[in-house]
Amino acid sequence: MLNTVFRLVRTSKISNRLLHTSPSLLCSFHPSTRLIQPRPQKTSFGLLKVFAVSACGMSVGAYLAVCMVQFLEHSELFYVDDEDDD
């Protein structure tokens, strides 16, 4: 059955254009040998890694923002007024 599929793919007129330009194919063929490439390895804990990196990035960004505000207040370039304009 697999040989039949390969034969159909090889004999079709649009196979070269379709196989090498369409990103939505479920399987990809190597251009020179026309063999099906193996599936890529699945990343374990992928979503957990995304959340961990995002949390670390936001924490470092918040820390740098606090340090910058303290520097600006110390050098009297910017300071926060605690007075209300009632």
Residues 51 and 35 in one domain: no
The answer to whether the beta carbons of residues 19 and 25 sit under 8 Å apart is yes
Residues 62 and 32 in one domain: no
pTM of structure:
0.47
Residues 47 and 86 in one domain: yes
The answer to whether the beta carbons of residues 34 and 6 sit under 8 Å apart is yes
What's the whole-number average pLDDT of the chain? 76
Range of the domain at 29: 1-40
In this predicted structure, what is the pLDDT of residue 54?
98
| The one-letter amino acid at 12 | S
Reduced to 3 states (helix: H, G, I; strand: E, B; else coil), residue 55 is helix
Residues 15 and 53 in one domain: no
The count of domains in the chain is 2
27, two tokens: 């399987």
The answer to whether the beta carbons of residues 31 and 20 sit under 8 Å apart is yes
Between residues 39 and 74, the one the model is more confident about = 74
| The one-letter amino acid at 11 | T
